[in-house]
Amino acid sequence: MKIALNNVGRRFNKEWIFKNLSTEFVSGKSYAILGPNGSGKSTLLSVLTGSLTPSEGEITFADSKEIPVENIYQYISLAAPYLELIETFTLKEIIEFHFKFKNFAPGIDAKNLITLLGLEKSANKEIKYFSSGMKQRTKLALACCSDSPILFLDEPTSNLDVQGINWYQELIEKFTKEKLTIIGSNQIQEYEFCSEHIQIFDYK
């Protein structure tokens, strides 16, 4: 998989969030998009997922051939603070619902996923009764355990304690080796495994 940007920029009204960004993202590498809160990391991630169109420049998605932007959702998984879980679903139900649209990663099924989360006793509990940390772990597990070639994570350790951060790092180690992984972050524990860094302020 490859995502290629050619002089891409995005603005809201007259304010440029970023501009003149030319780079490539390729499978097997992990990328960190860095910058403080409000700098445009999430906006860039939204452009990379096809959720936002660039205000200028060109973005292309390709596997063995070019992929139309309207189809790129089939190739990606995403976990982000602004993506909500369905609160009235139980954990079992949210897993069943999610994997109607995605395939499980090799070696994973619903039971394994609940065990991976360490939430066996909460399998039949509605999501609205989960703590913020339990919800975040669920979002991360659904994204990482999907058999998608591209993984996007925005502020992945939001609401996680020290134990949760360690769990996240083990999850990343286990499930991202062959993927194109792109993380929006300003916390070193979220992206220290990434070999490539993009500073959003370099494109203001």
Domain boundaries, the chain: 2-203
Interval 68-104: pLDDT, tens: 999 999 999 999 988 999 999 999 999 999 999 999 9
CATH architecture of 2-203: 3-Layer(aba) Sandwich (3.40)
pLDDT above 90: residue 64:
no
Element of type H or E holding 112: helix 110-117
Rounded CA-CA distance 143/105 in Å is 10
Rounded CA-CA distance 144/18 in Å is 28
Are the C-beta atoms of residues 117 and 140 closer than 8 Å to each other? no
Rounded CA-CA distance 98/185 in Å is 25
Rounded CA-CA distance 56/11 in Å is 9
Instruction: Please give the model's pTM, rounded to 2 decimal places.
Output: 0.94
**pLDDT score of 177:** 87
Give the type of residue at 150. I
User: What percent of the chain is helix, strand and coil (3-state, nearest 5)?
Assistant: 35, 30, 35
Interval 102-154: pLDDT, tens: 999 999 999 999 999 999 999 999 999 999 999 999 999 999 999 999 999 99
